[in-house]
Amino acid sequence: MKKVLGEQNYEYFFDRFLYYFFTEKDAKYFASLGLNCLRLPFDYRHFEDDMNPRVLKESGFKHLDRVIDLCTKHGIYTILDLHTAPGGHNPDWHSDNPTSYAAFWDYKDHRDRTTWLWEQLAARYKDNTMIAGYNLLNEPCDPEHVRLPALYDRMEPIVRKIDPNHILWLDGNTFAMEWRGFEKVLPNTVYAMHDYSRMGFPTGEPYKGTDEQKKTVENQYLRKALFMHKHKTPIWNGEFGPIYASERVEGPDYEKTNQDRYNLLGAQLSVYDKYSISWSIWLYKDIGVQGMLHTNPNSKWNKTIQSFLDKKALHRLDASGVQPSAESVAATKPLIDWINKVCPQAEDVYPTPWGTETHVLRNVLQTFLSAAMSDEFAELFRGLGKEELEECAKSFSFEECVQREGLNRILREHAKDRNSTPTKHPALSEGNEEKLGGW
């Protein structure tokens, strides 16, 4: 994008995009649903450069401070979520990792820089009582399992020396799904799981609300929360939520598919109500995949990129929420079958939930091919001036976005039930004991 737009227009567009993505109207709407906590994901690159490490970029706080202040005004807590750490702390796309290799774990300086960044953030926000705390790493993946709890043990006293009061929200290993290597509980800490269900994804079994499926939903939660139940700690489900269908991709029956996924979401929330845990839905706003709000298909942004979205779906370039296409299956299945034939143990290569198929798709289609086609995506914006870039960015404004009513109705209903019966957890800081339900 920078090569195509030039430095000035590049900076202009992304600044306006971040502004429109969350304004006061978004905060007001979010609070109107009875949701009282917003998880704010951010990339370390907003605050330091790889070629100039440990030099804090004040510009990175422009929109983070703005959103925190908007949330405070409307009574919404915020949890600061480091979604992307130096070196890539997991091998997946959402850690902004273009290699599928999580170098974070093999180079101490990556972990040192992450600790340094949290020192800067703690110093800035230590007196802000509307920040519910710090989510130190999103979905870490340590193949050895012991380096993650060791890192938490190291970071906790360093952050506490600066800010002794805020809660630490600590994700489990392997995309916040397992707790091997965790042997103790840190003080004033909430342990976090992520609870996506395959029944909410295009390639999963459709959810029909059978007794067996309901039991599967509950058992999946119990497995991921075993460590917290064993140690009697508070529990936070930091991410969950189905992928929603669209008429363009799934055809005229897409609403039936989405109703199944709303029903799945309701079943999950009923489990969380049963065990009295806090939760944050993923996510608030996107282009029509999972968000509580999404851009209008007729918006300037969607019209600009639609041809490329169609190509991404055809070639299965997205890692999440994409139906397998005949073309992509024909290209990759023989390779996957061959690998499993000559190396059966490939199915168990970490991250073990992936299996050979996901490893191949991540490394070939969703890393190498996606990166190779990024210039083609950027070319869609060539020649756009500030007026048109403003229109693209404004596509993400509350006024222009579409509300996903089926999703938001369920969230509103469960938030109302939870907020009417708050439970005090002894491990939470004084003043932060209420249920945290939100994004």
**CA–CA separation, 171 and 81 (whole Å):** 10
The count of other CB atoms within 10 Å of the CB of residue 256 is 11
Tokens at 197, concatenated: 């269900």
- Beta-strand pair 293-294/189-194: unpaired
The count of other CB atoms within 10 Å of the CB of residue 274 is 10
Which entry of 48, 178, 239, 357 is annotated as an active-site residue?
239
**CA–CA separation, 157 and 375 (whole Å):** 44
In eight-state DSSP terms, residue 367 is I
Tokens at 237, concatenated: 């489900």
Closest CA to 359 of 199, 143, 81: 143
> Is 239 one of the annotated active-site residues of the chain?
yes
> Is 156 one of the annotated active-site residues of the chain?
no
Which entry of 139, 178, 357, 434 is annotated as an active-site residue?
139
What amino acid occupies position 334? P
Helix (H, G, I), strand (E, B) or coil at 398: coil
Tokens at 139, concatenated: 């979905």
164 contacts: CB under 8 Å, gap ≥ 6: none
- Beta-strand pair 402-403/293-294: antiparallel
* Contact status, residue 413 vs residue 40, Cβ threshold 8 Å: no
* Contact status, residue 45 vs residue 51, Cβ threshold 8 Å: no
- Distance between first and last Cα of the chain: 29
By annotation, the residues acting in catalysis are 139, 239
